[in-house]
Chains A and B, each alone.
Chain A
Amino acid sequence: MLPKGMSLKDKVAVVGGLGQSWQKEIASYLAEAGASVAVFGKDKDEMTAAVQAVEKLGKQALAVTTDPTSPGEVSKMVQSVLKKWQKIDILVNSFNLFLAKPLPEISAVEWTKALEANITPVFLSTQAVGRHMLERKEGKVINITSGLAERGLPNGSAYCAAKGAVVQFTRAVALEWARSNVRVNAIALGWMEDSAEVSKEEWHQNLVRYAPLKRLAGPEDFAAALVYLASDASSFVTGSTFYITGGLMAHG
């Protein structure tokens, strides 16, 4: 049995994705805990896989093809989810586009794109879904970010700035909505297997050696934290960032 209050039975979750978002896995974990799940984004293969995974778990699913950086499309996406289920209890923002480049070589176009991809959809969907949650006086928002929100990395100026922005956005909105029973939290991931960050074998090995737990992470490593924050079991938690980094945040 899941701990008291952690079931997501009868809940409706919306999972936004862009880039390497683990959208399919996130949708599955929420469905496994009992939620119906809508996914939105531009990656049709990922969304189809998410829908199939949710339906396989016996839950209802919906995919809404959406450019998550477009205010109009995000707002339409919210309408279609509400049309199907009349409510949204949980929003997960998982927008993740990596960029590693020496600062002198980053073009203004790359900078804008990296920031827009990692932050703008968090703003747009939290705003659009948040309006509905504020009306209902109930909701949970979970923003997926990275330990690089809180640590520096050579060649990571744009990515670190963007991921840090997600944490600060989380804190500010958490305070803004604290008395409206809409809780806003973040999960910061560590170095993930099969990600752009570790796409070279030598980088991968270097990081595994360095990591306190001697392995990189998979999406299953943050599944429990996700369901906890999405559920009523975390009723006194808001503005918090759960770092699930395998010990990296303790490193000097």
Chain B
Amino acid sequence: MLEKKFNLEGRVAVVTGGGGGLGTAICLALAEAGADIVVTDYRVDAGEATAASVRQTTGRKAVFFPADITKPEEVNDMMSRAINQWGKVDILVNCAGIVRGEIPKPFWEITDFDWHRGIDTNLSGAFYCSRAVVKHMIDRHYGKIINVASGFGMRGLKGNFMYNTAKAGVILLTMSMALTLAEYNIRVNAIAPGLFETIGPKERYETSARFIPMGRVGQPPEIGALVVYLASDASDYATGEVFSIDGGALFSGYAPINYIPIVPLKEK
């Protein structure tokens, strides 16, 4: 019974940011569970590579359609092509985002351009992609939308403003979409990942790992099963919820990682 619930055979998934580290892992996990994949990304080579990798390693169908998710026309066009490809889209994973797109600079020197770029990539993109597919999902009375938010969507981040603000927006977008679309049998949930080893030098992750309760960063394939869970019938009673996967990071942060006090009970 459970095996059947996790099965995605016959389902079509669109994954934005599909050329990135987490996006690639998400595409592979969905395909391994049986789904056919539409990979989208503004990075053509990376997107094509993910689609090829899905075809080779899972034997499922996969295509790549380029789109810059900050541009609504491109998103609409990509989504029409995606729907036409195999006649439907069952699952949308909004994974595109710029993790460290912000150049550290003093708060008062952040330009309008910086601000809009951060918000558009991490928040508006999820809105544009969802808007482009939701009418199709309503017509079919079926849909699963998974927004990749971040633990930082619930926490402050020193010297960084657009990323966590946008991710907070993604979480609230998830909740309002979930309430609005429940009657059309569309589920909308968010994942709040912690730090995963995706791009950049390994040393950076080794330093960061010390500040994560589990003492390590996540490896992209570790997000796979959670995405399959949220994309499948297995999670049908979950909507508008946020699922953290972060090695314990979300509920640390009240004290340094090495603060481990021992104080006996003592009444005055």
Contact = CB atoms under 8 A, between A and B. Distances in A.
B108 interface: no
A98 to B, nearest CB: 20
A4 B247 contact: no
B241 A242 contact: yes
Given A178-B213, A236-B218, A225 B239 contact: no
B182 interface: yes
Given A29-B2, A224-B5, A250-B175, A236 B247 contact: yes
A224 B218 contact: no
A104 to B, nearest CB: 29
Interface in A82-115: none
B237 A1 contact: no
A244 B238 contact: yes
Interface in B186-244: 194, 213-215, 218-219, 221-226, 228-229, 232, 234-244
A33 B240 CA distance: 27
A228 B229 contact: yes
B134 interface: no
A231 B178 CA distance: 28
Interface residues of A, number: 46
A3 B224 contact: yes
Contacts of A244: 235, 237-238, 241
Contacts of A179: 213-215
Contacts of B219: 236
B2 A212 contact: no
A212 B243 contact: no
B16 to A, nearest CB: 21
Contacts of B183: 214
Contact of A224 (B182, B234, B250, B260): B234
B68 to A, nearest CB: 29
A179 B215 CA distance: 6
Contacts of A221: 236-237
A247 B213 contact: no
Contact of A212 (B29, B232, B240): B240
A33 B3 CA distance: 9
Interface in A156-207: 171, 174-176, 178-179, 190
Given A33-B2, A178-B214, A239-B248, A5 B237 contact: no
Interface string B6-27: 1000000000000000000000
Given A4-B225, A175-B252, A239-B248, A247 B214 contact: no
B214 A236 contact: yes
A28 to B, nearest CB: 10
A240 B250 contact: yes
6 contacts: A3-B6, A176-B260, A212-B182, A239-B251, A249-B241, A251-B179
Interface of A: 1-6, 29, 32-33, 171, 174-176, 178-179, 190, 212-214, 217, 220-225, 227-228, 231, 233-240, 242-247, 249-251
Interface of B: 1-3, 5-6, 29, 32-33, 174-176, 178-179, 182-183, 194, 213-215, 218-219, 221-226, 228-229, 232, 234-248, 250-252, 260
